Structure 1
Amino acid sequence: MNGALLNPSRPSFVAESLPQGGWRASVPHYLRIRDQLVTDLAEGVLPSDSKLPAERELAERFGCTRVTLRQALQLLETDGLIYRQNRRGWYVSPPRIRYDPTGIIGFMEYVAAQGRVPRTECLHAERRPAGAWLAKRMGLEHPEEPVFYLQRRRWVDQRPVLLECNVLLVDWCPELLTTDLNTSLTRLLRERFGRVQSRSELLMHPETMNDVQAELLQVSPGSGSFYLERLSYGEHGQSVEFDQEFWRPDSLAVVLGTQHPEAVRRP
């Protein structure tokens, strides 16, 4: 496999630091299995998104128990080199999507720009009162203020990678539910309603998926997720949209640009 097909991952310090002879045999068997599978991936034995052999076959190949094998597989999963489809087995991870959450470009655009195939699936859409919690979070005057509530699943190639909940003020885009929501919301707001966001506030942290989220993203319940929360403001500084994103953490690499203030002041 071309190196570009492998996700960025932590280096195998065990493999890189081992002497050529001597105490190699003292390395735990699961680490030697992990290093051999990393080599297989790097040499193209298994291409991106292909299924690994069954655990029984791999255990026979390496002369180990399935418990030992799973230790190795879990290390590869942690490094983002393989992923598990619930009840379907292990697969070679495709390249991570590079994601800048501070950008104004939408999912459909930045995924396509990386040579991948994005897809949006609207699971639910309705108009309803904001409620007390959301009214407080968005700084709305009344809990009864009407909002559009959307639940959507986003795909990259053939894999679901993201669940998102979007809440938008009805007054900001009143005909939203009459449009096709299986597409870029950023582009839809701009082209159909002439709406753009002036700024956003972000919150990010790791979370654990509940049963519903895990089923929709085709992973095991209790799997980790990367959670992102975004409160966006409209042209006149009013809060207009609140988003929650639940990502498969093995599917993305968060990339943020920085600039030193001294560099900005230089002529």
Structure 2
Amino acid sequence: MANAATAPKSEGLHYLVVRDDIAARIAAGDLKPGDKLPSERRLQDEVGMARGTVRAGLFQLEAEGVIYRRDRSGWYVSPPPVIYDPTRWEGFMSYVEAQGRSPTTEVISAEPIVADALLAEVFSRPPGAVLFMIRRRRYVDGRAVLVERIVVDAALAPDVLRFSLDRSLTSILKTEYGLSVVRNQVSMQPCALTGYKAEALRLKSGLPGLAVQRISYDAQGRVVEFDHEYWRHDAVRISVETRVR
């Protein structure tokens, strides 16, 4: 690690010494994905800087997606991101497993709701129609990477809440209700993870994320799912295959 003698003296830039030093160790392979970083106190002793300066350097690396924090455990090198094509109607469990990773799903809540004006328009249903809202937290290799809210039309899947929703909802809709998606309307934008999204992902509020909204249609033009996903920015890489006409 760099020491105080080699640190730049520009006021306010000392945290970059910490940032650059750790980033160099990761790039060189001295610290590998999943490895735990030295404690903040040890880093403080090694560089001879204030703890606040060390933390600023760590926060910078976190914002860049290079490292992440675990509650009451410390800092770790971020694993490789999951490759994700949001235009495909493919279950999370399926595409994560296909990449040699271990996916798990935790149901936060699952309940009937009534359609407000927005949902009524999305589902082409009258206001007050019964829908189901499912909130889930998704993990890759034991790390929470996204929180999602899925709305399903109760008219198409009338008793879907009786199933175990910690498994693939895609498979349930296919096998139990014969529902298949032929078209997705997808929008994506960067976002700040705040409120329940940051809390659900156990993140410091305000860190960057990726918001994905998807409306999935069957061959009859009916909306099968209306999905909002909020990803950790360091956990996903978008890859979309297109055909040139």
What TM-score, normalized to structure 2?
0.88
Deviation at 1:260, TM superposition (A): 3.5
Note the residue ranges of structure 2 that are not aligned, 5 or more in a row: 1-6
Give CA-to-partner distance per residue, 1:148-183, whole Å, 9 cap, x none: 111111111111111111111111112211211111
Relative distance call for 1:67 and 1:217 in structure 2 (3 A) is same
Alignment partner, residue 46 of structure 2:
61
Does the alignment pair 1:168 with 2:152? Answer: yes
The counterpart of 1:48, out of the listed 15, 18, 33, is 33
Does the alignment pair 1:234 with 2:218? Answer: yes
Does the alignment pair 1:99 with 2:84? Answer: yes
Alignment partner, residue 181 of structure 1:
165
- Indicate if the aligned counterparts of 2:148 and 2:230 stay in contact, CA closer than 8 A: yes
Note the residue ranges of structure 1 that are not aligned, 5 or more in a row: 1-23, 262-267
Alignment partner, residue 203 of structure 2:
219
The letter of the residue matching 1:103 is R
- Indicate if the aligned counterparts of 2:138 and 2:146 stay in contact, CA closer than 8 A: yes
> Which range moved further: 249-258 or 24-33?
24-33
Query: How far apart in 2 are the matches of 1:211 and 1:86?
Result: 17
- Would you say how many aligned residue pairs link Structure 1 and Structure 2? 238
Query: How far apart in 2 are the matches of 1:211 and 1:25?
Result: 37
Query: How far apart in 2 are the matches of 1:217 and 1:37?
Result: 24
What TM-score, normalized to structure 1?
0.81
Does the alignment pair 1:151 with 2:120? Answer: no
Alignment partner, residue 130 of structure 1:
115
- Indicate if the aligned counterparts of 1:168 and 1:242 stay in contact, CA closer than 8 A: yes
Alignment partner, residue 246 of structure 1:
230
Give CA-to-partner distance per residue, 1:230-261, whole Å, 9 cap, x none: 11112201223211111111111111223433
The letter of the residue matching 1:83 is Y
Query: How far apart in 2 are the matches of 1:32 and 1:260?
Result: 46
Deviation at 1:144, TM superposition (A): 1.4
Percent identity at matched positions? 40
**Larger proportion of helix:** 1
The letter of the residue matching 1:125 is A
- Indicate if the aligned counterparts of 2:184 and 2:216 stay in contact, CA closer than 8 A: yes
Relative distance call for 1:99 and 1:209 in structure 2 (3 A) is same
Query: How far apart in 2 are the matches of 1:141 and 1:47?
Result: 51
Query: How far apart in 2 are the matches of 1:42 and 1:81?
Result: 10
The 3-state SS of whatever aligns with 1:67 is helix
Alignment partner, residue 35 of structure 1:
20
Query: How far apart in 2 are the matches of 1:129 and 1:77?
Result: 39
Query: How far apart in 2 are the matches of 1:33 and 1:208?
Result: 25
Deviation at 1:37, TM superposition (A): 1.3
